[in-house]
């Protein structure tokens, strides 16, 4: 059984995200779906996306004239779109940091972070062979490790972490809402 290491998790986050993780509490990671609203794009709000580029500026307002508040350095990092204005998207990361990003820097590819609310704790998440708690574990995932979502059925997500593909309980990831279905 493989363990997805702290070093890989560290590589998946920007320095700022790590700093925010060290001071944020579990309440910063609450996920709510509420009623389904649609943004200017016609897509639902809120929704999850990921960063397309390895260098993405998070701005304090929707436009290039606004100051850069944060810079993300990891492509594929999951983001929650919470507001739209023209070609700009107000996003929230797993640490609760919010700001504006150009839509051209976002992708519909679904990724997720394993239990970021457990970072720094001795908690491990099992990547299982089948979507049930009794199935054998293929790997142990450290909180904060990033993976790619293949599908979710509302209770379990088929995901890939560092080349290992298996199933994770949907409530243990940040990148899909509880009960949400995600298809290929």
pLDDT digits (tens, 9 = 90+) for 3-36: 443 333 333 333 333 333 333 333 333 344 445 7
Q: What is the pLDDT at residue 36? A: 72
Residues of the chain within CATH 2.30.30.40 domain(s) are 2-6+113-182, 15-110
Write the CB contacts of 30 (distance below 8 Å, at least 6 apart in sequence): none
Domain at 2-6+113-182: CATH code: 2.30.30.40
What's the pLDDT tens digit per position in 34-66?
A: 457 888 899 999 999 999 999 999 999 999 999
Instruction: Describe the chain by its helix, strand, coil percentages, rounded to 5.
Output: 15, 40, 40
Percentage of residues in the chain having pLDDT higher than 70: 81
Domain at 15-110: CATH code: 2.30.30.40
**Cα separation, 122 vs 170, whole angstroms:** 20
């Amino acid at each position: 059984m493989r363990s997805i290491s702290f070093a890989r998790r560290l590589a998946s986050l920007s320095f700022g995200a790590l700093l925010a993780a060290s001071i944020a509490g579990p309440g910063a990671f609450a996920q709510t779906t509420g009623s389904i609203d649609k943004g200017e794009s016609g897509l639902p709000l809120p929704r999850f996306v990921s960063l397309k580029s390895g260098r993405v500026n998070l701005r304090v307002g929707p436009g290039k004239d606004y100051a850069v508040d944060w810079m993300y350095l990891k492509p594929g990092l999951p983001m929650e779109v919470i507001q739209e204005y023209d070609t700009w998207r107000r996003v929230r990361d797993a640490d609760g940091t919010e700001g504006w990003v150009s839509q051209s820097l976002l992708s519909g590819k679904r990724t997720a972070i394993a239990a970021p609310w457990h970072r720094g704790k001795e908690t491990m998440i099992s990547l299982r062979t089948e979507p049930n708690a009794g199935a054998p574990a293929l790997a142990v995932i450290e909180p904060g490790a990033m993976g790619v979502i293949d599908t979710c059925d509302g209770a379990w997500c088929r995901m890939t972490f560092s080349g290992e593909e298996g199933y994770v309980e949907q409530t243990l990831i940040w990148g899909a809402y509880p009960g949400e279905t995600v298809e290929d």
